Amino acid sequence: MLTRGHLRRFACLATGVAAISLLAAAGWGAAPQSSYFRVSVSPDYTIYGMLQDRDLRFSATPEGLAMVSPIKAEKLDMSNGGGGMVWYSYTFPEVTLSVPEGELAPGFTKVKAALQYQVTKTTSRSRGRGGTAYIHGSVGLCREDERGVDWSYWSRIGTEAGSSPERAPAVKVPTVGELTLKVTTQAKAGREVGIAVQAMAGETPLDDVRKAGTSVTTEVEVLDKDRKTVASEKKPLSDLGFT
């Protein structure tokens, strides 16, 4: 004979089963899939990267990816992409990659990376549509000056992730040549002119240059024919687009 207590417990159990079924149908119960990419440090040295939700791993070999400790994402954003697709964006903290001595250009001692992982996941409403995974961010080549101050030179990278470490797409650590500033102008309305300043390392565009972890600033002055300053901007290199 069922008492009221039995009925209450049965109702709670049924509710719990329904909730679990709903989550599974939405894809939340599925095991997370891994995505892979490679970092080409030099023609002779590659670092393998693996992403699995909020975990990022680096290893000198594909086999080592399962054994290294993960780097945890410090930020997660999620949005509904429509049609049964959910868009996740994981932001990871800046990390230093392990690179053997001699694999970098003379004078440079390490490589740093600041990465973001973006992936779409399907729900039951997606009707078989596949997801996508993309890795992007910046890599920085680092050296110390004669005073022991750390300098880093950062470039943007990005690639779609792969399904296996050996065949995953690769991003290249840029080679560093002579440091220069490239100034580009852009006509605007009337007499206004837009000016952009791009730091270059040889032929490689740099997204940022940092001294002791802080972006260096650049001052841009516009002079008239009498060499008088008519406009000026002082900003980090990363902010000096067309202004």
Q: pTM, whole model, 2 decimals?
A: 0.72
- 1 band by pLDDT with thresholds 50, 70 and 90: very low
pLDDT of residue 193: 66
Q: How far apart are CA 48 and CA 165, in angstroms?
A: 7
Q: How far apart are CA 20 and CA 31, in angstroms?
A: 15
Q: Are strands 179-187 and 193-201 parallel, antiparallel or unpaired?
A: antiparallel
Q: Which of 28-37, 52-61, 84-93 has the lowest mean pLDDT?
A: 28-37
Q: In what order do the strands lie in the sheet with 204-206?
A: 179-187, 193-201, 204-206
- Averaged pLDDT of the chain: 78
Higher pLDDT among residues 33 and 109, named by residue: 109
| Residue among 195, 165, 198 at smallest CA distance from 50 | 165
pLDDT of residue 125: 55
Q: What value, to the nearest 5°, has the Cα angle with vertex 50 and ends 47 and 51?
A: 140
In this structure, what token pair is assigned to residue 151?
């300098």
**What average pLDDT score do residues 188-201 get?**
70
Give the single-character DSSP code of 99: -
pLDDT of residue 127: 53
